Copies of this chain bind each other. A is one copy, B any other.
Amino acid sequence: MRNRNITIGDVARLAGVSNATVSRALQKPDVVSEKTREKVNAAVLETGYTQNVMARNLRLDRTGMVVALVPDISNPFFSEILSGIESVATREGYNVLIANTNNDPAREHIYASYVQSNLADGILLLNGHVPVPNGAQKIIGDMSNLPPMVALCERIPNVDLPTVVIDNVDAACLATQHLIEMGHTNIVHVAGPIDNILTKDRRDGFLSALENAGLAQNLSDIFYGDFTINSGKQAFGKINQKEAIPTAIFCANDEIAMGVISAAREAGFSVPDDISVVGFDDIEIAEHYYPTLTTIHQPRRQLGVVAMEQLVELISSADAKIADLTTLGSQLIIRKSVKKVE
């Protein structure tokens, strides 16, 4: 078995002081005499004492832990966001439990209940919805009773939560405009899952760009997928069956775009010579893909930083004044997957 834990009592005995004094010497060194402090420090070294954080947290009714609910950590989109979250967490004395939910409500629930169970102080929602808690119905409608939470990347409809996002409608509109400016008129859109809020926003942006340009908007020109490479491939299969093959495709994320490009290539088309493609997110591989991908850059790290800062504030003071909605800037990155048509 593990050795018996070395406790504050062991240190106290060796230093010849009380537990209380050891605790103070460690937590608030300036409140004890220098002599005592030195005795305690020596005893800590000699015993190899390390604080039992669980006991401390139990006593203080805090945990120093924050849960990040991520639908899929294998998605490269999230890694830099998490890195931003962690940098703030480290600075503020929190640790981040990255909870991979796979969009499984049961798993979301487990991790959400960490807060109720005093295993975490707050939750970062990267999954686009509020996890349904234990008592289900009881909580809905009584939002004031929810644990500290901040949503990021995807805003959550009908819920009053601090939220950190980019303007997806605007960005999608910008991306589509770029295609239009490059002379394309037959443009289709490969979207995400039909009920997803990002799908809605980016599709709205796409449609409004077409509308502004006076181009036809056929809802049949929107193909739904699930943000994966494979769904991009499948979508291209359908696009390839149209009588008039479009000259440009706006994809709701980079992975879809890579799937579209890869399937187009297999079908004998060249990107961008035959078909131009624009992605969304600017994941790391985008600039190394072939062709390098024109896409919308999201300030991923910054999204994480701002959201975590807001969560920390929320945890430390319940009546903190946090903006409901923080919108960060995004930008169109022009690379080589789009070609001008004459």
Query: Interface residues, chain A, CB within 8 Å of chain B?
Result: 1-3, 5, 48, 50-55, 57-58, 61, 63, 73-76, 79-80, 82-83, 86, 90, 95, 97-100, 107, 111, 113-114, 116-119, 134-135, 138, 145, 147, 229, 258-259, 261-262, 265, 284-285, 288-290, 318
Query: Inside 8 A of A284's CB, which chain B residues have their CB?
Result: 74, 229
CB distance from A200 to the nearest CB of B (A): 27
The listed residue with most B CB atoms (<10 A of its CB), out of A52, A107, A119, is A119
A262 vs B111: C-alpha distance when bound (angstroms): 41
Which of B50, B118, B288, B289 is close to A52, meaning CB atoms less than 8 Å apart?
Answer: B118
Return chain B residues, CB-CB under 8 Å to A111.
95
Q: Are B63 and A54 in contact (CB under 8 A)?
A: yes
A290 contact from B53, B95, B138, B262, Cβ within 8 A = B262
Top 8 nearest A-B pairs (CB, nearest first) are A74-B79, A53-B117, A50-B116, A98-B98, A290-B290, A52-B118, A54-B118, A54-B58
Q: Which of B1, B48, B53, B73 contacts A73 (CB 8 A)?
A: B73
B290 touches A2 (CB 8 A): no
Contact B288 A117 (CB under 8 A): no
Q: Chain B contacts of A138 at CB under 8 A?
A: 48
